[in-house]
A and B are shown apart, each in its own frame.
Chain A
């Protein structure tokens, strides 16, 4: 079996606040093969965006990687100096942000921004730049004339596509995406995601797609990773996650979506709220809200347990003896 493209192991990320450090991402591990589409889902405060930025080595000054490793193509990224990182960024892996509004420079045309990116990586030939720019715009379905447009002249959906085009400039093998569709309408979302999937199949890059909206990504992801309170709750092939969720949190999430078709069933949701990460927690972090909670869940913090091709952090699957 060839080496995974991305191998995250025991990643821990702390936020530095006045009173000390708050662990926003606790011991996250997963691996990604070439061409694989991984959806990372979770609700507010679960640490998914922090984790993504940690992987991309783009954490703000107030946060730092406190432990673990991120290996890309076998190369360790944590601790790599800025110079080496810069060489990797965009060529080998690209990041698409949540709101293209904030990521695109409002006072430069799209074409100029593409050109800047190319220059930064040593591409100087004006012809080659132009050709590639037109090519990537074509990949996302934007007319080449828009190279001369400013971001505010494009609609929200088009701006997001332009961001994706920019990410594709150097044919990276990995694209990290942080909620790229949450600012878009339902219809625009669907068509963008469909195009992403098509591109992925054509060009063969891997995707890590972070979102709070499971239903947006589930059609397109090969596997899904559910995060809760800074930890991985479950990792499973998409279909398996939806049909047989193992972790009660994933199960609860599946039950929380109203459906447009089919019979109308009562929704339950998951009452309560995620724990305060600044305070010490004992036992399973989900136990206060868990419908299947057992006594030992309150004292023993579960590890990620393998059940077939699924990993779930739940004591229901813990076969070890209970020692009191």
Chain B
């Protein structure tokens, strides 16, 4: 069991989740000097991550999912909202000590194994630096042993510590990315599309390793991906994202077996079984919009086969429907109608 790195922190065991994000919002200024074009990458995003849990955020490119990872890793600041980690507000941390603390707790793994590593230094550079900066209690020999340990934890032989990044394959590099994260003994790893750039035959191994991290090391993961199938494979809960908004959230199996939001449905039908030659392809030819200066209303309405008037006027909010949460007027409307119908 990993000991808490800061004994002064009181973590109420099961009541409060590991991380609670509320109303996360991130806007970027795009366009020239004179224009007031604001890109809404993420709007009003709220979710929690528990201990020893893998939460997947699924969305297409442009949905803002990578932005979430970077916001949580504090790569850039929030436009609005708050992040509470183990009971502490972390989005506004300023002091060196607190920042260092947060960096020991939450680590980020990048998508592109070919640019995530320094081209000149050895592949173990990141691991060693992490150990040096965040595990000051270790001496040089202990650091070396720890580096070997994290390499083994991700399935790499310790002799690979001396390799250079260009000598290693994509899959191996990606494992090093996780080793780097593990070196600080985090409680949460933010994995931004970690297998998207890997060959299919290699993905399984890395995905299995990630599930193993949850099971054996007790680490929580936020798994960001565009691939529903791999999300289902390792995640406990799935959050579906569209154009910066959450549209559906719930336990993985429930969301996939009984999707409530039309977009989830669309994703499911597009990702179906390779051999199934029957079944209509969705008539949809649209793509997720770049959300610049958006208006009220559901952002999916232009592509939605079920859109009603209300969808253009009122932005739907996430509401609990049984085991899942959905942001869809139609889904919520049907459920309420069914409920009131049942009560008759």
Which A residues lie at the B interface, using CB under 8 A? 43-44, 141, 155-157, 185-191, 194, 212-215, 218-219, 238-239, 242-243, 252-253, 255-262, 264, 266-271, 273
Q: Tell me whether A256 and B232 are in contact in the complex, defined as CB-CB below 8 angstroms, given that A155-B287, A157-B285 are known contacts.
A: no
**Cβ–Cβ contact A43 & B232, under 8 A:** no
- Collect the chain B residues with CB atoms within 8 Å of residue A270's CB: 201-202
The CA-CA distance from A138 to B71 in the complex, in Å, is 43
Q: Interface stretch among B10-18, B38-46, B262-270, B331-339?
A: B262-270
Q: Tell me whether A261 and B200 are in contact in the complex, defined as CB-CB below 8 angstroms, given that A187-B284, A190-B282, A267-B233 are known contacts.
A: no
The CA-CA distance from A267 to B232 in the complex, in Å, is 12
Q: Smallest CB-CB separation from A140: which chain B residue?
A: B285
Q: Tell me whether A218 and B208 are in contact in the complex, defined as CB-CB below 8 angstroms, given that A43-B201, A188-B287, A257-B200 are known contacts.
A: no
Mark out the residues of chain B between 270 and 307 whose CB falls within 8 Å of any chain A CB in the assembled complex. 270-277, 281-288
Q: Smallest CB-CB separation from B230: which chain A residue?
A: A258
Most chain B CB within 10 A, of A189, A190, A266, A268, is at: A190
Query: In the complex, which of the residues A44, A190, A255, A258 contacts B207, with contact meaning CB atoms closer than 8 Å?
Result: A258
- Collect the chain B residues with CB atoms within 8 Å of residue A212's CB: 199-200
**Cβ–Cβ contact B204 & A219, under 8 A:** no
- Collect the chain A residues with CB atoms within 8 Å of residue B226's CB: 185-186
The CA-CA distance from A267 to B210 in the complex, in Å, is 13
- Collect the chain A residues with CB atoms within 8 Å of residue B288's CB: 185
23 chain-A/chain-B pairs, Cβ below 8 angstroms = A43-B199, A44-B170, A141-B285, A185-B60, A188-B285, A189-B270, A190-B282, A191-B284, A214-B200, A215-B274, A255-B204, A256-B200, A258-B204, A258-B230, A260-B228, A260-B271, A261-B256, A261-B257, A266-B208, A267-B207, A269-B202, A269-B208, A273-B202
Q: Tell me whether A191 and B282 are in contact in the complex, defined as CB-CB below 8 angstroms, given that A256-B200, A260-B232 are known contacts.
A: yes
- Collect the chain B residues with CB atoms within 8 Å of residue A264's CB: 232-233
The CA-CA distance from A225 to B335 in the complex, in Å, is 48
The verdict on B171 contacting chain A, using a C-beta distance below 8 Å, is: yes
- Collect the chain A residues with CB atoms within 8 Å of residue B199's CB: 43-44, 212
- Collect the chain B residues with CB atoms within 8 Å of residue A191's CB: 281-285
- Collect the chain A residues with CB atoms within 8 Å of residue B270's CB: 186-187, 189-190
The CA-CA distance from A243 to B276 in the complex, in Å, is 12
The CA-CA distance from A222 to B257 in the complex, in Å, is 30
**Cβ–Cβ contact B287 & A258, under 8 A:** no
The verdict on B22 contacting chain A, using a C-beta distance below 8 Å, is: no
The verdict on B315 contacting chain A, using a C-beta distance below 8 Å, is: no
The CA-CA distance from A268 to B284 in the complex, in Å, is 34
Query: In the complex, which of the residues B201, B277, B284 contacts A269, with contact meaning CB atoms closer than 8 Å?
Result: B201
**Cβ–Cβ contact B272 & A260, under 8 A:** yes
**Cβ–Cβ contact A267 & B204, under 8 A:** yes
The CA-CA distance from A194 to B276 in the complex, in Å, is 13
Q: Smallest CB-CB separation from B266: which chain A residue?
A: A187
**Cβ–Cβ contact A258 & B233, under 8 A:** yes
Q: Tell me whether A156 and B274 are in contact in the complex, defined as CB-CB below 8 angstroms, given that A44-B199, A267-B233, A269-B205 are known contacts.
A: no
The CA-CA distance from A187 to B266 in the complex, in Å, is 7
The verdict on B317 contacting chain A, using a C-beta distance below 8 Å, is: no
- Collect the chain A residues with CB atoms within 8 Å of residue B228's CB: 260
**Cβ–Cβ contact A190 & B281, under 8 A:** yes
The verdict on B20 contacting chain A, using a C-beta distance below 8 Å, is: no
The CA-CA distance from A238 to B277 in the complex, in Å, is 11
The CA-CA distance from A25 to B250 in the complex, in Å, is 47
Query: In the complex, which of the residues B204, B271, B285, B286 contacts A256, with contact meaning CB atoms closer than 8 Å?
Result: B204
Query: In the complex, which of the residues A190, A238, A242, A256 contacts B201, with contact meaning CB atoms closer than 8 Å?
Result: A256
The CA-CA distance from A215 to B274 in the complex, in Å, is 5
The CA-CA distance from A219 to B257 in the complex, in Å, is 22
**Cβ–Cβ contact A260 & B256, under 8 A:** yes
Chain B min CB distance to A50 (Å): 17
Q: Smallest CB-CB separation from A269: which chain B residue?
A: B204
The verdict on B61 contacting chain A, using a C-beta distance below 8 Å, is: yes
The verdict on B254 contacting chain A, using a C-beta distance below 8 Å, is: no
The CA-CA distance from A156 to B285 in the complex, in Å, is 11
Q: Smallest CB-CB separation from A141: which chain B residue?
A: B285
Q: Tell me whether A242 and B284 are in contact in the complex, defined as CB-CB below 8 angstroms, given that A212-B200, A264-B233 are known contacts.
A: no
The verdict on B203 contacting chain A, using a C-beta distance below 8 Å, is: yes
The CA-CA distance from A138 to B310 in the complex, in Å, is 33
**Cβ–Cβ contact A257 & B275, under 8 A:** no
Chain B min CB distance to A95 (Å): 24
The 8 closest A-B pairs by CB, nearest first: A269-B204, A267-B204, A270-B201, A43-B199, A215-B274, A258-B233, A194-B281, A185-B60
**Cβ–Cβ contact A273 & B275, under 8 A:** no
- Collect the chain B residues with CB atoms within 8 Å of residue A257's CB: 200, 229, 274
The verdict on B98 contacting chain A, using a C-beta distance below 8 Å, is: no
Chain B min CB distance to A83 (Å): 40
- Collect the chain A residues with CB atoms within 8 Å of residue B205's CB: 269, 271
Query: In the complex, which of the residues B60, B200, B257 contacts A43, with contact meaning CB atoms closer than 8 Å?
Result: B200
**Cβ–Cβ contact A186 & B273, under 8 A:** no
Chain B min CB distance to A304 (Å): 21
Chain B min CB distance to A84 (Å): 38
**Cβ–Cβ contact A242 & B275, under 8 A:** yes
**Cβ–Cβ contact B61 & A214, under 8 A:** no
